[in-house]
Amino acid sequence: MSEETLRVTAGLDRPGEVNLERSLAVGDKLGGHLVTGHVDGVGEVRSREGGVVAVKMPKELTKYVARKGSVCVDGVSLTVNRVNGEVFEANLIPHTLQVTTLARLAPGARVNLEVDLVARYVERIIGESRGV
């Protein structure tokens, strides 16, 4: 693994289940968020009450996470319900809890985060147009 992968990924120090989805093939119907499988940083679960999880994200990722936007937590794309500074909340529906590893999330757990792909490109385009 690359140094970058080791730097931004949690859970590589032990064996265990992971969440994987098949790649989208040309011509397939797009039925959700755009996800690449890249890890942008590691967050920490702050709380999990019923079907709502609150995650503290690294400060440098906050500009990419917006209410009603998407974020991946341990490879599972979720819709963001609320953002307050460095903490976002998302709902975990029963189906997601049944077919992913997210049912085991508990306060203090370190989770891999992937921010919205479109937000990253928008930032790049706007930055270049401003000469940043």
SS3 label, residue 44: strand
The CA distance from 76 to 59, in Å, is: 21
pLDDT per residue over 56-107, tens digit each?
A: 999 999 999 999 999 999 999 999 999 999 999 999 999 999 999 999 999 9
Q: How confident is the model at residue 50 (pLDDT cuts 50, 70, 90)?
A: confident
| Strand pairing class (52-56; 87-91) | antiparallel
From residue 44, give the alpha-carbon distance in Å to each of 37, 73, 100.
19, 10, 18
Residues 6+ away with beta carbon under 8 Å from 111 = 10, 42, 43, 44, 45, 55, 73, 74, 105
Q: Which two tokens stand for residue 114?
A: 């992937």
* Domains of the chain, CATH where assigned: 3-21+37-129 (2.40.30.20)
| Backbone CA torsion sign across 116, 117, 118, 122 | positive
